[in-house]
Chains A and B, each alone.
Chain A
Protein backbone atom coordinates (compact mmCIF):
# COMPACT_ATOMS: atom_id res chain seq x y z
CA UNK A 1 0.00 0.00 0.00
CA UNK A 2 2.83 2.31 0.80
CA UNK A 3 4.07 1.99 -2.76
CA UNK A 4 0.71 2.94 -4.27
CA UNK A 5 0.54 5.90 -1.95
CA UNK A 6 3.98 7.00 -2.99
CA UNK A 7 3.17 6.68 -6.70
CA UNK A 8 0.01 8.72 -6.36
CA UNK A 9 1.84 11.29 -4.24
CA UNK A 10 4.51 11.69 -6.92
CA UNK A 11 1.80 11.87 -9.58
CA UNK A 12 0.01 14.64 -7.70
CA UNK A 13 3.25 16.61 -7.31
CA UNK A 14 4.09 16.16 -10.99
CA UNK A 15 0.64 17.36 -12.05
CA UNK A 16 0.91 20.35 -9.71
CA UNK A 17 4.38 21.25 -10.94
CA UNK A 18 3.39 20.96 -14.62
CA UNK A 19 0.37 23.20 -14.07
CA UNK A 20 2.43 25.82 -12.25
CA UNK A 21 5.14 25.56 -14.93
CA UNK A 22 2.49 26.26 -17.59
CA UNK A 23 0.85 29.15 -15.76
CA UNK A 24 4.07 30.89 -14.74
CA UNK A 25 5.13 31.23 -18.36
CA UNK A 26 2.45 33.95 -18.60
CA UNK A 27 3.90 35.92 -15.67
CA UNK A 28 5.91 38.96 -16.69
CA UNK A 29 9.58 38.95 -15.70
CA UNK A 30 11.56 41.91 -14.39
CA UNK A 31 14.61 40.90 -16.48
CA UNK A 32 14.29 40.39 -20.20
CA UNK A 33 16.14 37.12 -20.81
CA UNK A 34 14.72 34.74 -23.37
CA UNK A 35 13.80 31.50 -21.66
CA UNK A 36 14.10 32.80 -18.12
CA UNK A 37 11.19 32.19 -15.74
CA UNK A 38 10.26 32.84 -12.15
CA UNK A 39 10.64 29.23 -11.07
CA UNK A 40 7.55 28.83 -8.89
CA UNK A 41 7.14 25.33 -10.31
CA UNK A 42 10.03 24.39 -8.07
CA UNK A 43 7.84 24.26 -4.96
CA UNK A 44 6.35 20.78 -5.63
CA UNK A 45 9.92 19.69 -6.24
CA UNK A 46 10.92 21.19 -2.89
CA UNK A 47 7.97 19.49 -1.24
CA UNK A 48 9.05 16.15 -2.68
CA UNK A 49 12.57 16.68 -1.35
CA UNK A 50 11.58 17.61 2.20
CA UNK A 51 9.13 14.71 2.40
CA UNK A 52 12.04 12.44 1.47
CA UNK A 53 10.74 10.61 -1.60
CA UNK A 54 14.30 9.93 -2.76
CA UNK A 55 16.61 11.44 -5.38
CA UNK A 56 15.32 9.23 -8.22
CA UNK A 57 11.68 10.21 -7.64
CA UNK A 58 12.52 13.90 -7.31
CA UNK A 59 14.35 13.68 -10.62
CA UNK A 60 11.29 12.02 -12.20
CA UNK A 61 9.15 14.91 -11.05
CA UNK A 62 11.69 17.45 -12.31
CA UNK A 63 11.93 15.90 -15.79
CA UNK A 64 8.22 15.17 -16.10
CA UNK A 65 7.10 18.65 -15.03
CA UNK A 66 9.36 20.23 -17.66
CA UNK A 67 8.20 17.79 -20.35
CA UNK A 68 4.49 18.13 -19.55
CA UNK A 69 4.63 21.85 -18.87
CA UNK A 70 6.44 22.62 -22.11
CA UNK A 71 4.16 20.36 -24.16
CA UNK A 72 1.15 22.14 -22.62
CA UNK A 73 2.56 25.58 -23.42
CA UNK A 74 3.75 24.50 -26.88
CA UNK A 75 7.42 25.05 -26.15
CA UNK A 76 8.55 21.44 -26.34
CA UNK A 77 12.18 21.15 -27.54
CA UNK A 78 12.45 24.94 -27.80
CA UNK A 79 15.36 26.85 -26.18
CA UNK A 80 13.12 27.55 -23.20
CA UNK A 81 12.51 23.84 -22.78
CA UNK A 82 16.22 23.01 -22.61
CA UNK A 83 16.88 25.82 -20.16
CA UNK A 84 13.96 24.67 -18.00
CA UNK A 85 15.07 21.05 -18.13
CA UNK A 86 18.64 21.89 -17.15
CA UNK A 87 17.46 24.13 -14.35
CA UNK A 88 14.99 21.57 -13.04
CA UNK A 89 17.49 18.70 -13.04
CA UNK A 90 20.20 20.83 -11.44
CA UNK A 91 17.92 22.08 -8.67
CA UNK A 92 16.45 18.59 -8.07
CA UNK A 93 19.93 17.14 -7.62
CA UNK A 94 21.19 20.04 -5.52
CA UNK A 95 18.18 20.02 -3.21
CA UNK A 96 18.18 16.21 -2.75
CA UNK A 97 21.89 16.13 -2.03
CA UNK A 98 21.79 19.04 0.41
CA UNK A 99 18.80 17.43 2.15
CA UNK A 100 20.79 14.21 2.56
CA UNK A 101 24.04 15.87 3.61
CA UNK A 102 22.81 18.63 5.91
CA UNK A 103 21.24 16.78 8.79
CA UNK A 104 19.73 19.94 10.20
CA UNK A 105 18.62 21.41 6.88
CA UNK A 106 15.64 23.74 6.79
CA UNK A 107 13.08 24.31 4.04
CA UNK A 108 14.32 27.81 3.25
CA UNK A 109 17.95 26.73 3.02
CA UNK A 110 17.21 23.86 0.65
CA UNK A 111 14.98 26.09 -1.44
CA UNK A 112 17.67 28.75 -1.77
CA UNK A 113 20.28 26.18 -2.77
CA UNK A 114 17.89 24.73 -5.35
CA UNK A 115 17.13 28.15 -6.85
CA UNK A 116 20.81 29.04 -7.00
CA UNK A 117 21.73 25.87 -8.91
CA UNK A 118 18.66 26.16 -11.13
CA UNK A 119 19.58 29.69 -12.20
CA UNK A 120 23.23 28.82 -12.66
CA UNK A 121 22.34 25.86 -14.88
CA UNK A 122 19.90 27.97 -16.90
CA UNK A 123 22.48 30.70 -17.45
CA UNK A 124 25.12 28.14 -18.45
CA UNK A 125 22.81 26.43 -20.95
CA UNK A 126 21.67 29.76 -22.38
CA UNK A 127 25.23 31.05 -22.64
CA UNK A 128 26.73 27.88 -24.12
CA UNK A 129 24.03 26.57 -26.43
CA UNK A 130 21.30 29.14 -27.03
CA UNK A 131 22.53 32.74 -27.05
CA UNK A 132 26.14 31.57 -27.50
CA UNK A 133 27.39 34.83 -26.08
CA UNK A 134 29.42 35.91 -23.11
CA UNK A 135 26.99 38.78 -22.66
CA UNK A 136 24.65 36.54 -20.69
CA UNK A 137 26.92 36.93 -17.69
CA UNK A 138 25.49 40.42 -17.35
CA UNK A 139 22.05 38.96 -16.53
CA UNK A 140 23.34 36.28 -14.19
CA UNK A 141 23.34 38.30 -10.92
CA UNK A 142 19.83 39.59 -11.64
CA UNK A 143 18.59 36.07 -12.21
CA UNK A 144 20.21 34.97 -8.94
CA UNK A 145 18.59 37.82 -7.08
CA UNK A 146 15.12 36.97 -8.35
CA UNK A 147 15.90 33.32 -7.63
CA UNK A 148 16.41 34.26 -3.97
CA UNK A 149 12.98 35.92 -3.85
CA UNK A 150 11.27 33.01 -5.61
CA UNK A 151 12.97 30.52 -3.34
CA UNK A 152 11.74 32.42 -0.30
CA UNK A 153 8.16 32.35 -1.60
CA UNK A 154 8.48 28.66 -2.53
CA UNK A 155 9.73 27.71 0.91
CA UNK A 156 6.92 29.71 2.54
CA UNK A 157 4.39 27.80 0.43
CA UNK A 158 5.99 24.46 1.29
CA UNK A 159 6.20 25.12 5.00
CA UNK A 160 2.55 26.20 5.00
CA UNK A 161 1.66 22.94 3.25
CA UNK A 162 3.75 20.98 5.74
CA UNK A 163 2.01 22.66 8.65
CA UNK A 164 -1.54 22.31 7.40
CA UNK A 165 -1.55 19.03 5.44
CA UNK A 166 -0.75 15.71 7.00
CA UNK A 167 1.90 14.13 4.83
CA UNK A 168 3.72 10.95 5.71
CA UNK A 169 7.46 10.97 5.50
CA UNK A 170 8.45 8.46 2.86
CA UNK A 171 11.34 6.49 4.15
CA UNK A 172 13.06 4.38 1.55
Chain B
Protein backbone atom coordinates (compact mmCIF):
# COMPACT_ATOMS: atom_id res chain seq x y z
CA UNK B 1 0.00 0.00 0.00
CA UNK B 2 1.70 3.11 -1.24
CA UNK B 3 0.77 6.53 -0.07
CA UNK B 4 2.37 9.86 -0.67
CA UNK B 5 2.45 12.44 2.03
CA UNK B 6 -0.02 15.21 1.62
CA UNK B 7 0.99 18.10 -0.64
CA UNK B 8 -0.71 20.76 1.44
CA UNK B 9 1.23 20.00 4.57
CA UNK B 10 4.70 19.90 2.99
CA UNK B 11 5.63 23.61 3.24
CA UNK B 12 4.59 23.76 6.88
CA UNK B 13 6.68 20.72 7.56
CA UNK B 14 9.78 22.23 6.00
CA UNK B 15 9.25 25.45 7.92
CA UNK B 16 8.88 23.48 11.16
CA UNK B 17 12.02 21.45 10.45
CA UNK B 18 14.04 24.59 9.67
CA UNK B 19 12.73 26.29 12.82
CA UNK B 20 13.73 23.32 14.97
CA UNK B 21 17.13 23.26 13.28
CA UNK B 22 17.70 26.98 13.94
CA UNK B 23 16.65 26.61 17.58
CA UNK B 24 19.04 23.71 18.15
CA UNK B 25 21.90 25.50 16.35
CA UNK B 26 21.28 28.69 18.30
CA UNK B 27 21.23 26.73 21.51
CA UNK B 28 24.53 25.05 20.67
CA UNK B 29 26.14 28.40 19.81
CA UNK B 30 24.85 30.44 22.73
CA UNK B 31 24.98 27.91 25.53
CA UNK B 32 28.46 28.15 26.95
CA UNK B 33 29.71 24.92 28.43
CA UNK B 34 28.99 25.35 32.13
CA UNK B 35 31.91 24.30 34.31
CA UNK B 36 31.13 21.19 36.28
CA UNK B 37 32.20 21.54 39.89
CA UNK B 38 33.59 18.57 41.69
CA UNK B 39 33.56 18.61 45.47
CA UNK B 40 35.66 16.64 47.90
CA UNK B 41 35.66 16.77 51.68
CA UNK B 42 38.51 15.33 53.68
CA UNK B 43 40.09 15.92 57.05
CA UNK B 44 43.53 17.47 57.19
CA UNK B 45 45.53 19.87 59.40
CA UNK B 46 43.12 19.32 62.28
CA UNK B 47 40.09 20.54 60.40
CA UNK B 48 37.74 19.59 57.60
CA UNK B 49 38.85 20.69 54.17
CA UNK B 50 36.29 21.17 51.45
CA UNK B 51 37.51 21.72 47.92
CA UNK B 52 35.12 22.60 45.13
CA UNK B 53 36.83 22.97 41.78
CA UNK B 54 36.00 23.03 38.11
CA UNK B 55 38.69 22.65 35.47
CA UNK B 56 38.79 24.29 32.09
CA UNK B 57 41.44 22.18 30.38
CA UNK B 58 41.97 19.57 33.06
CA UNK B 59 39.15 17.47 34.49
CA UNK B 60 37.77 18.69 37.80
CA UNK B 61 38.51 15.34 39.42
CA UNK B 62 42.23 15.67 38.70
CA UNK B 63 42.30 19.15 40.27
CA UNK B 64 40.47 17.94 43.37
CA UNK B 65 42.95 15.10 43.77
CA UNK B 66 45.89 17.50 43.40
CA UNK B 67 44.39 19.54 46.24
CA UNK B 68 43.93 16.52 48.48
CA UNK B 69 47.47 15.24 47.85
CA UNK B 70 48.98 18.65 48.56
CA UNK B 71 47.03 18.97 51.80
CA UNK B 72 48.07 15.53 52.98
CA UNK B 73 51.72 16.35 52.17
CA UNK B 74 51.56 19.59 54.18
CA UNK B 75 49.77 17.78 56.99
CA UNK B 76 52.43 15.07 57.20
CA UNK B 77 55.22 17.63 57.09
CA UNK B 78 53.96 20.27 59.53
CA UNK B 79 51.30 18.80 61.84
CA UNK B 80 52.65 18.87 65.42
CA UNK B 81 50.55 15.78 66.26
CA UNK B 82 51.92 13.65 63.42
CA UNK B 83 54.93 11.57 64.40
CA UNK B 84 57.90 12.21 62.11
CA UNK B 85 56.77 15.63 60.92
CA UNK B 86 59.27 18.50 60.95
CA UNK B 87 57.39 20.22 63.76
CA UNK B 88 57.16 17.00 65.77
CA UNK B 89 60.93 16.45 65.51
CA UNK B 90 61.64 20.10 66.31
CA UNK B 91 59.44 20.00 69.40
CA UNK B 92 61.05 16.73 70.55
CA UNK B 93 64.71 17.44 69.86
CA UNK B 94 64.86 21.22 69.79
CA UNK B 95 66.34 21.39 66.31
CA UNK B 96 65.64 20.08 62.84
CA UNK B 97 67.12 20.17 59.34
CA UNK B 98 64.76 21.86 56.90
CA UNK B 99 64.35 22.35 53.17
CA UNK B 100 63.67 25.59 51.27
CA UNK B 101 59.92 25.39 51.71
CA UNK B 102 60.05 24.83 55.46
CA UNK B 103 62.65 27.55 55.79
CA UNK B 104 60.27 29.96 54.06
CA UNK B 105 57.41 28.92 56.31
CA UNK B 106 59.41 29.28 59.52
CA UNK B 107 60.79 32.60 58.37
CA UNK B 108 57.29 33.85 57.51
CA UNK B 109 56.00 32.79 60.90
CA UNK B 110 58.77 34.66 62.69
CA UNK B 111 58.41 37.73 60.44
CA UNK B 112 54.66 37.96 60.97
CA UNK B 113 55.12 37.45 64.70
CA UNK B 114 57.49 40.44 64.71
CA UNK B 115 55.11 42.48 62.50
CA UNK B 116 52.17 41.93 64.84
CA UNK B 117 54.25 42.59 67.94
CA UNK B 118 53.83 39.03 69.11
CA UNK B 119 50.03 38.99 68.86
CA UNK B 120 50.50 36.14 66.48
CA UNK B 121 53.08 33.82 67.99
CA UNK B 122 53.95 30.35 66.64
CA UNK B 123 55.35 29.29 70.01
CA UNK B 124 52.03 29.30 71.93
CA UNK B 125 51.91 25.51 71.83
CA UNK B 126 52.87 24.99 75.51
CA UNK B 127 49.89 27.17 76.43
CA UNK B 128 47.57 25.44 73.99
CA UNK B 129 48.58 22.06 75.41
CA UNK B 130 48.04 23.33 78.93
CA UNK B 131 44.46 24.34 78.11
CA UNK B 132 43.87 21.16 76.13
CA UNK B 133 43.19 22.79 72.78
CA UNK B 134 45.92 20.84 70.95
CA UNK B 135 43.63 17.90 70.18
CA UNK B 136 39.89 17.27 70.17
CA UNK B 137 40.29 14.43 72.63
CA UNK B 138 42.54 16.21 75.15
CA UNK B 139 40.94 17.07 78.48
CA UNK B 140 40.14 20.75 78.56
CA UNK B 141 40.46 22.59 81.88
CA UNK B 142 41.26 25.99 83.31
CA UNK B 143 44.92 25.91 84.43
CA UNK B 144 46.15 27.62 87.59
CA UNK B 145 47.94 30.97 87.35
CA UNK B 146 51.23 29.26 88.29
CA UNK B 147 50.91 26.77 85.46
CA UNK B 148 50.18 29.60 83.06
CA UNK B 149 53.16 31.61 84.22
CA UNK B 150 55.32 28.52 83.83
CA UNK B 151 54.06 27.95 80.26
CA UNK B 152 54.32 31.66 79.38
CA UNK B 153 58.06 31.56 80.03
CA UNK B 154 58.40 29.36 76.95
CA UNK B 155 56.25 31.53 74.72
CA UNK B 156 58.19 33.99 72.60
CA UNK B 157 58.89 33.89 68.89
CA UNK B 158 62.42 35.16 69.60
CA UNK B 159 63.30 31.70 70.92
CA UNK B 160 63.20 30.43 67.33
CA UNK B 161 66.57 30.48 65.67
CA UNK B 162 66.70 30.10 61.90
CA UNK B 163 70.09 29.20 60.49
CA UNK B 164 69.87 29.84 56.78
CA UNK B 165 73.37 28.65 55.93
CA UNK B 166 73.06 25.24 57.54
CA UNK B 167 69.34 25.00 56.69
CA UNK B 168 68.49 24.33 60.30
CA UNK B 169 65.82 25.57 62.72
CA UNK B 170 66.46 25.30 66.43
CA UNK B 171 65.14 26.62 69.75
CA UNK B 172 67.24 28.85 71.95
CA UNK B 173 65.55 27.51 75.08
CA UNK B 174 64.59 24.02 76.19
CA UNK B 175 60.89 23.38 76.50
CA UNK B 176 59.83 25.73 73.72
CA UNK B 177 57.29 24.18 71.38
CA UNK B 178 56.05 25.45 68.06
CA UNK B 179 52.72 25.10 66.27
CA UNK B 180 52.37 26.39 62.73
CA UNK B 181 48.65 25.60 62.78
CA UNK B 182 47.63 29.23 62.27
CA UNK B 183 49.89 29.56 59.23
CA UNK B 184 49.95 26.06 57.71
CA UNK B 185 46.28 26.04 56.73
CA UNK B 186 46.58 29.29 54.82
CA UNK B 187 49.89 28.22 53.33
CA UNK B 188 48.38 24.93 52.15
CA UNK B 189 45.48 26.79 50.52
CA UNK B 190 47.82 29.17 48.71
CA UNK B 191 50.04 26.34 47.57
CA UNK B 192 47.10 24.35 46.21
CA UNK B 193 45.82 27.43 44.36
CA UNK B 194 49.27 27.96 42.88
CA UNK B 195 49.52 24.30 41.79
CA UNK B 196 46.07 24.41 40.23
CA UNK B 197 46.79 27.63 38.36
CA UNK B 198 49.94 26.00 36.98
CA UNK B 199 48.09 23.04 35.48
CA UNK B 200 44.91 24.90 34.52
CA UNK B 201 45.04 28.72 34.54
CA UNK B 202 41.30 29.03 33.87
CA UNK B 203 40.14 26.69 36.62
CA UNK B 204 37.65 28.08 39.12
CA UNK B 205 36.42 27.12 42.55
CA UNK B 206 37.27 27.43 46.20
CA UNK B 207 39.17 25.71 48.98
CA UNK B 208 37.63 25.91 52.43
CA UNK B 209 39.87 24.64 55.23
CA UNK B 210 37.73 24.99 58.32
CA UNK B 211 36.43 28.43 57.42
CA UNK B 212 39.72 29.70 56.00
CA UNK B 213 38.95 30.19 52.36
CA UNK B 214 40.95 30.55 49.18
CA UNK B 215 39.12 31.52 45.99
CA UNK B 216 40.29 30.57 42.50
CA UNK B 217 38.46 32.51 39.84
CA UNK B 218 34.77 33.44 39.52
CA UNK B 219 31.94 30.96 39.88
CA UNK B 220 30.76 29.64 36.52
CA UNK B 221 33.39 31.99 35.07
CA UNK B 222 31.16 35.04 35.61
CA UNK B 223 29.82 35.33 39.16
CA UNK B 224 31.65 36.21 42.35
CA UNK B 225 31.58 33.65 45.14
CA UNK B 226 29.20 34.67 47.90
CA UNK B 227 30.83 34.19 51.28
CA UNK B 228 28.80 34.47 54.46
CA UNK B 229 30.53 35.59 57.64
CA UNK B 230 29.26 33.47 60.49
CA UNK B 231 27.18 35.26 63.08
CA UNK B 232 29.25 34.83 66.29
CA UNK B 233 26.18 35.35 68.50
CA UNK B 234 24.03 32.74 66.83
CA UNK B 235 23.85 29.09 67.83
CA UNK B 236 23.06 28.37 64.21
CA UNK B 237 26.24 27.57 62.32
CA UNK B 238 25.16 28.77 58.95
CA UNK B 239 23.59 32.12 59.64
CA UNK B 240 25.49 35.01 58.14
CA UNK B 241 26.03 38.33 59.90
CA UNK B 242 27.43 39.81 56.70
CA UNK B 243 28.22 38.69 53.17
CA UNK B 244 31.21 39.47 51.00
CA UNK B 245 31.88 38.79 47.33
CA UNK B 246 35.20 37.50 46.05
CA UNK B 247 36.49 36.27 42.71
CA UNK B 248 39.99 35.58 43.96
CA UNK B 249 42.15 35.97 47.05
CA UNK B 250 41.69 34.62 50.52
CA UNK B 251 39.52 35.22 53.55
CA UNK B 252 39.81 33.86 57.07
CA UNK B 253 37.85 34.30 60.27
CA UNK B 254 38.86 33.70 63.85
CA UNK B 255 35.98 33.29 66.26
CA UNK B 256 35.51 32.40 69.90
CA UNK B 257 32.95 29.74 68.88
CA UNK B 258 35.35 27.45 67.02
CA UNK B 259 36.84 25.41 69.86
CA UNK B 260 35.83 26.16 73.38
CA UNK B 261 34.69 24.70 76.66
CA UNK B 262 32.59 26.15 79.42
CA UNK B 263 33.76 25.96 83.01
CA UNK B 264 31.74 27.46 85.89
CA UNK B 265 29.67 29.46 83.42
CA UNK B 266 32.63 31.07 81.69
CA UNK B 267 33.45 30.29 78.08
CA UNK B 268 37.11 29.54 77.37
CA UNK B 269 38.02 29.46 73.68
CA UNK B 270 41.13 28.42 71.79
CA UNK B 271 42.59 31.77 70.69
CA UNK B 272 45.05 32.44 73.50
CA UNK B 273 46.76 35.77 74.05
CA UNK B 274 50.51 35.05 74.02
CA UNK B 275 50.99 37.89 76.52
CA UNK B 276 48.55 36.85 79.26
CA UNK B 277 48.14 33.16 78.55
CA UNK B 278 44.35 33.44 78.72
CA UNK B 279 41.80 33.41 75.89
CA UNK B 280 41.66 36.80 74.17
CA UNK B 281 38.53 38.58 75.35
CA UNK B 282 38.42 41.78 73.33
CA UNK B 283 36.74 40.38 70.23
CA UNK B 284 34.37 37.58 69.32
CA UNK B 285 35.01 37.41 65.61
CA UNK B 286 37.62 38.81 63.23
CA UNK B 287 37.36 38.39 59.48
CA UNK B 288 40.30 39.28 57.28
CA UNK B 289 40.31 39.53 53.49
CA UNK B 290 43.67 39.41 51.75
CA UNK B 291 45.44 38.65 48.50
CA UNK B 292 46.32 35.22 49.80
CA UNK B 293 44.94 32.89 52.41
CA UNK B 294 48.10 32.72 54.52
CA UNK B 295 48.15 36.42 55.44
CA UNK B 296 44.39 36.34 55.99
CA UNK B 297 44.88 33.39 58.33
CA UNK B 298 47.70 35.02 60.32
CA UNK B 299 46.10 38.45 60.63
CA UNK B 300 42.72 37.08 61.65
CA UNK B 301 44.43 35.43 64.62
CA UNK B 302 46.64 38.44 65.39
CA UNK B 303 43.83 41.01 65.16
CA UNK B 304 41.63 38.81 67.32
CA UNK B 305 44.28 38.89 70.05
CA UNK B 306 44.75 42.65 69.62
CA UNK B 307 41.03 43.07 70.08
CA UNK B 308 38.26 45.51 69.27
CA UNK B 309 39.88 48.66 70.60
CA UNK B 310 42.91 48.54 68.39
CA UNK B 311 44.02 52.08 67.50
CA UNK B 312 46.50 50.78 64.93
CA UNK B 313 43.91 48.79 62.98
CA UNK B 314 44.07 51.01 59.90
CA UNK B 315 47.85 50.60 59.89
CA UNK B 316 47.49 46.89 59.10
CA UNK B 317 45.95 47.68 55.70
CA UNK B 318 49.55 48.42 54.65
CA UNK B 319 50.05 44.66 54.59
CA UNK B 320 47.34 44.28 51.98
CA UNK B 321 44.54 43.21 54.29
CA UNK B 322 41.05 44.42 55.11
CA UNK B 323 39.44 43.42 58.38
CA UNK B 324 36.06 43.33 60.12
CA UNK B 325 36.08 43.02 63.89
CA UNK B 326 33.06 42.25 66.03
CA UNK B 327 33.28 43.20 69.70
CA UNK B 328 31.83 41.11 72.56
CA UNK B 329 28.93 43.59 72.72
CA UNK B 330 28.18 43.21 69.03
CA UNK B 331 29.67 46.45 67.80
CA UNK B 332 31.52 46.33 64.54
CA UNK B 333 34.63 48.08 63.40
CA UNK B 334 36.22 47.67 60.01
CA UNK B 335 39.11 48.94 57.94
CA UNK B 336 38.41 51.59 55.31
CA UNK B 337 38.46 49.23 52.33
CA UNK B 338 36.36 46.41 53.73
CA UNK B 339 33.14 47.82 52.36
CA UNK B 340 34.48 47.39 48.85
CA UNK B 341 34.02 43.61 49.14
CA UNK B 342 30.34 43.93 50.01
CA UNK B 343 29.62 45.07 46.49
CA UNK B 344 28.75 42.46 43.96
CA UNK B 345 31.17 43.30 41.19
CA UNK B 346 32.14 41.07 38.37
Contacts and interface: CB of A to CB of B under 8 A. Distances in A.
A103 interface: no
Contact of B2 (A152, A166, A169): A166
B20 A162 contact: no
Contacts of B5: 159, 163
A167 B1 contact: yes
A163 B3 contact: yes
B32 interface: no
Main secondary structure of the interface of A (DSSP, over half): helix
B57 interface: no
Contact of A149 (B1, B2, B20): B20
Contacts of A169: 1
Contacts, number: 16
A137 to B, nearest CB: 20
A168 B20 contact: no
A152 B5 CA distance: 15
A149 B1 CA distance: 27
Main secondary structure of the interface of B (DSSP, over half): loop
B4 interface: yes
Interface in A129-153: 149, 152
A146 to B, nearest CB: 10
Interface string A154-169: 0000010011001111
A168 B1 CA distance: 7
B20 A163 contact: no
A152 B24 CA distance: 14
Contacts of A159: 5
16 contacts: A149-B20, A149-B24, A152-B17, A152-B20, A159-B5, A162-B1, A162-B3, A163-B2, A163-B3, A163-B4, A163-B5, A166-B1, A166-B2, A167-B1, A168-B1, A169-B1
Interface of B: 1-5, 17, 20, 24
Given A163-B2, A163-B4, 14 more contacts: A149-B20, A149-B24, A152-B17, A152-B20, A159-B5, A162-B1, A162-B3, A163-B3, A163-B5, A166-B1, A166-B2, A167-B1, A168-B1, A169-B1
